[in-house]
């Protein structure tokens, strides 16, 4: 497991909130769930109270593009103890046309995936506690199993994303499938060549007999 990983979260649209001004109008601040203690598709669980945020500089990027300009900044981070979810209030810059387009899509909730880059400090396999089983985060189907818990981590970056956080995983799987297909073709070609050689020898032998 690498020290630094990306985790993408696709929240329910109803969990994304546009912060209102005192007069009731919409501001350019939107609150997102950025991480949850639910077991993810990789079978990993991030302990929310173990996420350290004190050294995070608040910069928000688009699609983890560290070469481009930030699209906003985090003005507040909170944890909901009941749902074991971490939320971030993101203030969008809305300076360039691209900034405005991203903000409008987020506001309309057509663009709502968020991805965090975290550094793993402490992690490992263990059985979930009774509290974790009873209070959400771990399905009862995994009672007694050893699961991978990221106990302590450091938040390094937050991005609004329009693609999964780790497209390399899909590409790697595709490449592996292609390599397997190529190996199968090589094997089949080798078998065909062997059959051709045997057939040629057999025909030559029959011709000599004739």
Give 169-174's long-range contacts (Cβ < 8 A, gap of 24+).
none
Q: How many Å apart are CA 49 and CA 117, to the nearest integer?
A: 16
For residues 30-36, average pLDDT: 95
Mean pLDDT, the chain, rounded, equals 82
| pLDDT score, position 101 | 96
Around Cβ 205, how many Cβ atoms within 10 Å? 10
Whether residue 16 contacts residue 110, with contact meaning beta carbons closer than 8 Å, is answered with no
pLDDT digits (tens, 9 = 90+) for 107-160: 999 999 999 999 999 999 999 888 888 776 676 666 778 999 999 999 999 999
Q: What is the pTM assigned to this prediction?
A: 0.74
Whether residue 105 contacts residue 114, with contact meaning beta carbons closer than 8 Å, is answered with no
pLDDT digits (tens, 9 = 90+) for 70-79: 999 999 999 9
Question: What is the SS3 assignment for 155-189?
Answer: EEEEEEECCCCCHHHHHHHHHHHHHHHHHHHHHHH
For residues 24-35, average pLDDT: 96
Residue with tokens 């974790």: 132
What is the DSSP-derived secondary structure letter of residue 110?
S
For residues 31-44, average pLDDT: 89
Around Cβ 102, how many Cβ atoms within 10 Å? 21
């Amino acid at each position: 497991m690498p020290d630094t990983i990306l985790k993408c979260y696709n929240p329910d649209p109803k969990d994304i909130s546009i912060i209102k001004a005192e007069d009731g109008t919409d501001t350019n601040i939107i609150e997102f769930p950025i991480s949850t203690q639910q077991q993810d598709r990789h079978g990993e669980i991030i302990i929310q109270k173990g996420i350290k945020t004190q050294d995070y500089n608040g910069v928000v990027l688009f699609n983890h593009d560290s070469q481009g300009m930030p699209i906003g900044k985090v003005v507040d981070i909170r944890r909901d103890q009941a749902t074991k979810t971490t939320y971030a209030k993101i203030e969008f810059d809305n300076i360039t046309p691209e900034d405005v387009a991203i903000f409008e899509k987020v506001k309309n909730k057509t663009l709502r995936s968020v991805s965090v880059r975290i550094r793993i400090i402490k992690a490992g396999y263990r059985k979930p506690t009774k509290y974790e089983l009873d209070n959400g985060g771990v399905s009862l189907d995994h009672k007694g199993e050893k699961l991978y818990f990221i106990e302590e981590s450091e938040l390094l970056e937050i991005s609004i994303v329009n693609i999964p956080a780790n497209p390399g995983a899909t590409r790697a799987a595709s490449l592996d499938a292609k390599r397997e297909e190529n190996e199968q073709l090589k094997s089949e070609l080798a078998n065909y060549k062997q059959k051709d050689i045997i057939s040629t020898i057999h025909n030559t032998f029959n011709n000599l007999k004739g």
